[in-house]
Structures are given as structure tokens and as C-alpha cells.
Amino acid sequence: MPVPRKTDSWQQVESRRDFAAFLQLLSADCEMACRGQASSTSAAPRWTNPSVDGFLWAWVRLLGSRLDGTDLLHEEACGRPGWRGLAFQLDALRTYEPGFDSALAGSVATPDEVDGAHDLRMYVATLAVDFTRDQRATRAKLSRGEWAGDGGSWVHSALYNVLDAWAAWLAADSPFHAQLEPVTWWSVAHQLAAAQVYE
């Protein structure tokens, strides 16, 4: 695949490679916000809550702002988010307030069950709850003096590392990557599942 051009904003995202480059930009921006440094794309950190669970609950809230998701897409793509529409959503999440949803906190969804924005919302809520549970279990192991280096369902605990893992997985090539085109809500769920475990 050709090398992606430098992607400074969601408006420049046209392909999977562009989206991977945009994820790397978000990751760097998020890391700087976590360190309290100025953002790479603005004078001040733009992340309202640069944590994994904050990011996921903000996405749940964003997707719930209109269940059919059409106000989130910024593209006419027959109900599909498209790479640019997906980048738009992630860019919006930098400053979108998380919204814990107790009704969705008990959701148990898998990537294969995702067929639309409502399903993705349920899956993202499942991931948010799983992340919190995973972090709690890791802290409990550490407090008991046990080794907690593996065994959790999340490889990374920092959002910028999750975004980097997502970008790295997208930049890799495998037979499964052919199923990511065109971008669908199902393929977004599978990307998130990969980002959860990709090192």
C-alpha cells in the first residue's frame, strides 16, 4: 500500500491509511494532554477526558445523541460511517463529555452483532465496562503483591497507547483487512476489538 500523506485533520482522511495516520495524530495529542503539555494541533490540550473509559463513554453518548447516527457521519455513505466520518467522530470525542449510561452498563455485545450505530453504541458500552473491570482486577492483583503483567483483556491502560495500537493494526495487512472496506459499523467494532488486544 502507498505511504499515507500527513493527516492533520479529519477532513483530510480518505482511506484506511489516512485514518491510521489520523489515529497516530490523536494518540500524540492525547499523550501530550495526559502530560499537561500543549497539544500538537492547538495551543492547549483539547482532551476533556483522555482516559480509555472516558473516551468510550463519550463515544456512547455521542452515538446516542441520535440513534441512527446520521448526524455523526458527515458523509452521504448509505448509513456507513466511512473513514472520514469515523475520523470526524473521533475528533469530536476529544472534547465530548463522557456520559456513563447505567442502562447500557449491563450490555454484553460482540463485534459480530454490530450492524448499525445503535449496536456500536452497545458494543462500546460493553468495552467501557470491560475496561473498568479489567483495571480494577489489575489493581487488586497489584495490591495483593501478585504479578499483573498479563492475563487482562486490555493490553494497554492508556488511551494514547490504545489509539497507537489501533493505528498499528490498521497499517498492517492481513486477509481480514479486506473486510474493512467499505467502512461499516461492523468493521468499526472489529477495529475496536483489535485495538483492545493489539501490541
114 versus 145: which is more confidently predicted?
114
Rg of the chain taking only CA atoms, in angstroms: 16
Whether cis (ω within 30° of 0) applies to the bond prior to 182 is: yes
Give the least confident one: 50-59, 64-73, 104-113. Answer: 64-73
- What is the reported pLDDT for 107? 81
For residue 66, pLDDT over 60 is answered with yes
Across 123-130, average pLDDT? 95
Contacts of 182 (CB under 8 A, 6+ apart): 77, 80, 82
Instruction: Flag whether pLDDT at 71 surpasses 80.
Output: no
What is d(CA 9, CA 26) in angstroms, rounded to the nearest whole number? 10
CA angle 199, 120, 154 (to 5 degrees): 25
Mean pLDDT of 125-130: 95
**Worst-scoring range by mean pLDDT, 5-14, 25-34, 48-57, 159-168?**
5-14
Q: In this predicted structure, what is the pLDDT of residue 178?
A: 86
pLDDT per residue as tens digits for the range 134-176: 999 888 888 888 877 766 789 999 999 999 999 999 999 888 8
**pTM score of the predicted model:** 0.85
pLDDT of 113: 95
Whose CA is closest to 170, among 47, 89, 95, 87?
Answer: 87
State the chain's mean pLDDT as an integer: 84
